């Protein structure tokens, strides 16, 4: 059987801008065919998960204020089930990286990401989170969060308008709806830094300190 097209309530499938990438992703996920029973279970799970993605309250700069505006009455993120912002990474499903990530912040962000429970998603919001934005030449800015954590959806803008914010969140919903949790292993965005590497780096520093 063929996988069902994911249905997002507010936007018809054709109106999404990047359907090719999405179809490629679905194809990749279902290379070995789709199991009739398991997929039905997956659909149920995905439906629930995609409509109650809990974001982590994480904002470093300007985009964070827009995130607050999206949460407030006019744009009302609660229409799509994202309103339960969590202050602890242990309870969050998605981390919205709002704003510039600097060298000092990078290990903190990585730690927050590692603390989140699977399945977890990352949305890079705004130019700074995507590639350093207007500060890309700076000595203290990470050139995009995808250098340290795997990113699922990129939302461009400086800061993005609330509409594009919501559009990005719906792209994420689509992605969640295509995922398999039973039977097959899931394709995940590759982490740019493996945990092993980080541990190794940390060990080295501890060693150096001990020697000194």
Binding residues for other proteins (CB under 8 A):
57-62, 64-66, 68-69, 72-74, 87, 89, 99-100, 102-108, 110-112, 134-135, 137-142, 147-148, 158-159, 161, 193, 198, 201-202, 205
Nearest distance from C-beta of residue 48 to other proteins, angstroms: 25
Nearest distance from C-beta of residue 165 to other proteins, angstroms: 11
**Residues linked to residue 155 through DSSP beta bridges, in sequence order:** 125
Nearest distance from C-beta of residue 121 to other proteins, angstroms: 18
Q: Which is nearer to other proteins, 30 or 164 (CB)?
A: 164
Q: Which is nearer to other proteins, 80 or 165 (CB)?
A: 165
3 state SS of 97: strand
Residue 179 · residue 20 · CB < 8 Å: no
Q: Which is nearer to other proteins, 79 or 111 (CB)?
A: 111
Nearest distance from C-beta of residue 24 to other proteins, angstroms: 31
For 84-110, b where at least 16 C-beta lie within 10 A, e where not — what string?
A: ebbeebeebbbbbbbbbbbeebbeebb
Kindly report the number of other CB atoms within 10 A of residue 61's CB atom.
Answer: 17
3 state SS of 153: strand
Which tokens in the block code for residue 190? 């590759």
Q: Which is nearer to other proteins, 8 or 141 (CB)?
A: 141
């Amino acid at each position: 059987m063929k996988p069902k097209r994911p249905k997002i309530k507010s936007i018809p499938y054709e109106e999404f801008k990047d359907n090719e990438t999405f179809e490629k992703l679905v194809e990749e996920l279902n290379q070995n065919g789709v199991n009739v029973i398991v997929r039905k279970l997956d659909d149920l799970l995905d439906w629930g998960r995609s409509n109650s993605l809990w974001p982590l309250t994480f904002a470093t700069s300007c985009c964070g204020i827009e995130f607050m505006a999206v949460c407030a009455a006019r744009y009302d993120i609660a229409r799509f089930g994202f309103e339960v912002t969590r202050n602890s990474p242990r309870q969050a499903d998605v981390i919205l990286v709002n704003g510039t990530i600097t060298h000092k912040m990078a290990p903190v962000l990585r730690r927050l990401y590692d603390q989140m429970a699977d399945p977890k998603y990352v949305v890079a919001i705004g130019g700074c989170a995507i590639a350093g934005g207007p500060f890309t030449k700076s000595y203290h800015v990470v050139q995009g969060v995808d250098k340290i954590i795997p990113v699922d959806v990129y939302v461009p803008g400086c800061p993005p308008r609330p509409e594009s914010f919501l559009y990005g969140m719906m792209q994420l919903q689509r992605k969640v709806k295509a995922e398999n949790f039973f039977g097959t292993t899931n394709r995940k965005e590759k982490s740019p830094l493996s945990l092993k590497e980080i541990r190794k780096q940390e060990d080295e520093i501890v060693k150096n300190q001990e020697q000194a």
